[in-house]
Structure 1
Amino acid sequence: MKIFYAIQATGNGHISRATQLYPYLLKHGSVDFFLSGNNASLSPGIPIKFKSNGCSLHYSKCGGLDYWNILKNIQPRQVYKDADSLPLKDYDVIINDFDAITSLACKMQKIPSVQFGHQASFISPNTPRPENKSFMGEMILKHYANAPKNIGLHFEKYADFIRPPIIKDQILEANPKNLKHITVYLPSFDKDCLQKAFHTLHEVHFDWFLSGVTHQHRIGNITYYPVNQKDFNQSLINCEGIITGGGFETPAEALYLGKKVLSIPIRNHYEQECNAAALQKMGVPVVYDVDKNFSDTIADWLNATLLYPKIEANNIPETLEYLFDTYNNPI
């Protein structure tokens, strides 16, 4: 079997998921990966055969999306050209993890596909949303990379086609400890936005993973790290808690390990707002605006007794069997 797997690289979670799935997919056939977008800071540990700039996210300085930069970097003509050039007819199965180019290519070439990943879970109206729904956000989630069939991933099983999160082997096999540090991963925040709040909490040590940091170094109670999988996994496994965005993979792994989570969803990022709504229902604290009292917010979070439900890990062989059966069976 020849498998085409499209990865949306607007963040590291999609790449991390594909890397975990790769050896399992190889048991079903050969796999060619298509990487679309350039926001990811992880080096893919998988062979990328096709690549496109696609659509990438750009952030404002302190926790929001920069829509002007997002829009001005979209090149519709190139998107159509890339979609037309993908040789999808050479493949037996097309797996799409939220990539618009692959979705368009399937329509142009009249090729079936399955949308597989976290965003696919929002096809269900039962998947949590914020109190104030966004019409545009809903349109993006449902139509940006739509496919005839969907297999979603989420914290809980909100519908029959939704499966548990893909958890990396390093996390599954870990012996978690509490070495009392706080792991921080907030790619939409510049250092200047949060550094003062972290330094205020002299007794708390932070492992801060930041884009643009070239080498590990410590200043006061903060150790700065380049974004890399190995160091991040170790920090997460041994932390007391993690401060992160409203993504999916990182909170899922932290909850699987039984760690405290403080979520700061990216402003005006509807999917992250939806994830935050789901996390809140599970008892995870969510901060929507980082203000001058953020250090107090962190202290209150650390001092609180929080009980979270245990996250189940995905049974990958079973999920892939379900995926291939779903793909090959008529709607």
Structure 2
Amino acid sequence: MDILYGVTGVGMGHAIRSKIIITHLLKKGHNVIIFSYGPAFEFLKKSFKNVHKLEGLELFYDNNVVHVSKTLIVNLLKYPHKFLLNLPKFLKYKPQFVITDFEPMTYMFAKRRKIKVIGVDNISMIKKVKNPKLKNRKAKFLANLVASVITPHCDHYLIPSFFEQAKYPNIQVFSPILRDEVIRAKPRVGKKVLVYTTSQNYEKKLLKILPQVDKEFIVYGFNKSAKVKNITFKKFSEKKFLMDLKNCHSVICYGGFSLISEALYLKKPVLVLPIKDHYEQLLNADFVRSSQFGISSPSLTPEVLNAFFISSTEFRRNLAAYTGVGNKALFRELDILLK
């Protein structure tokens, strides 16, 4: 079967999940035509042959934080023109199904050509899955708005999520989709703390705060290798990062779904620093906190770090019963939908 698969270029978690699912589809004998852009395009191109570049969405930042309203308005204005630029690329193929990981161009192509479309992404959880009601109304409004315009009416949704209850009959919810390398990994409780952040503003803060705490830290996200006091900066390598993840004491990161999913599966307590007004990250952070797998904090301080480390043994004990992998269940349902 010919399947057109669209992957958003915003955030590498979507690309990593899509690689896992595409690999499964190819093993099942399907012909998968992949469309993406940005870092996700470069990532997928290294693993698959049939990968094509899209004119995709743009992100706009304010102090290293996504400016949601500007990003939404500019992309809505440019969307019709970009869709027309992408359309000839899509028309070269006659897929029986379209799968989209929060990618709107392939979604719209499916709708216009009356092709069944399956949404496989974690962001749709905001509108399609019952989740806690957080107090940040502004963040919730913007998140709902984004979820309402990207891939709003797929025929089916297969949603990896920490939350379990779907709102509608055409939605099925699964535990996170994990890389085989993570599932096969044999973690141990090490002494070093893994830190992952991509905000350049955070480097000075880390250099100021981390030396005040009696722990060794491995920091990814600044594209450099250096040793400063109790901090080891490392350039990103998928293989080395996984090695450090499975052997670390605990994890400090933003509220991104993919890294939190992998850390929890490997029984690592997590200190979550969700990006301000990023509703999905706030929900993920709330899950970690309420499950007592770690803590959530709007900012990093020595006091927050010490409180986290004091409770880390308890968090690890709570994680003992956590399974958190939905690959087989999602693959099984996807295979049924594609029959």
TM bracket (short chain): 0.7 to 0.9
Pairing partner for 1:80 from 69, 79, 83: 83
CA distance in 2, matches of 1:42, 1:238: 28
Change (3 A) 1:78 1:52: farther
CA distance in 2, matches of 1:174, 1:131: 37
The answer as to whether partners of 1:243 and 1:263 remain within 8 angstroms in 2 is yes
- The answer to whether 1:154 aligns with 2:161 is yes
Change (3 A) 1:58 1:40: farther
Look up the SS of the partner of 2:33 in the other structure: strand
Pairing partner for 2:210 from 179, 198, 205: 198
- Post-superposition shift, 1:272? 1.4
Aligned residue number for residue 312 of structure 1: 324
CA distance in 1, matches of 2:250, 2:302: 15
- The answer to whether 1:94 aligns with 2:98 is yes
Higher normalized helix content (fraction of residues): 2
Pairing partner for 2:198 from 181, 187, 209: 187
- Post-superposition shift, 1:326? 3.2
CA distance in 1, matches of 2:308, 2:268: 12
CA distance in 2, matches of 1:183, 1:43: 23
Change (3 A) 1:104 1:158: same
Aligned residue number for residue 2 of structure 1: 2
Change (3 A) 1:68 1:154: closer
The one-letter code matched in structure 1 to 2:211 is H
Return the TM-score normalized by structure 2.
Answer: 0.84
Aligned residue number for residue 207 of structure 1: 218
CA distance in 2, matches of 1:180, 1:125: 37
The answer as to whether partners of 1:129 and 1:278 remain within 8 angstroms in 2 is no
The one-letter code matched in structure 2 to 1:144 is I
Change (3 A) 1:282 1:142: farther
Change (3 A) 1:144 1:188: farther
Gaps of 5+ in 1: none
CA distance in 2, matches of 1:125, 1:110: 26
The answer as to whether partners of 1:113 and 1:327 remain within 8 angstroms in 2 is no
CA distance in 2, matches of 1:99, 1:129: 26
The answer as to whether partners of 1:120 and 1:151 remain within 8 angstroms in 2 is no
Return the TM-score normalized by structure 1.
Answer: 0.86
- Post-superposition shift, 1:54? 1.5
CA distance in 1, matches of 2:105, 2:195: 32
Matches within 5 A, 1:113-124: 113-124=117-128
Pairing partner for 1:249 from 254, 258, 263: 258
CA distance in 2, matches of 1:139, 1:68: 10
- Post-superposition shift, 1:253? 0.8
The answer as to whether partners of 1:102 and 1:145 remain within 8 angstroms in 2 is no
CA RMSD between the two structures? 2.6
- Post-superposition shift, 1:86? 4.0
Look up the SS of the partner of 1:176 in the other structure: coil
Aligned residue number for residue 32 of structure 1: 33
Give percent identity, aligned residues only: 23
Aligned residue number for residue 141 of structure 1: 147
Pairing partner for 1:274 from 273, 283, 304: 283
The answer as to whether partners of 1:42 and 1:229 remain within 8 angstroms in 2 is no
Aligned residue number for residue 177 of structure 2: 166
Aligned residue number for residue 223 of structure 1: 232
- Post-superposition shift, 1:10? 1.2
CA distance in 2, matches of 1:113, 1:154: 20
The answer as to whether partners of 1:129 and 1:275 remain within 8 angstroms in 2 is no
CA distance in 1, matches of 2:228, 2:195: 15
- Post-superposition shift, 1:206? 1.1
CA distance in 2, matches of 1:247, 1:270: 11
Pairing partner for 1:54 from 49, 53, 56: 56
Higher RCO (CA 8 Å, separation ≥ 6 residues): 1
The one-letter code matched in structure 2 to 1:6 is G
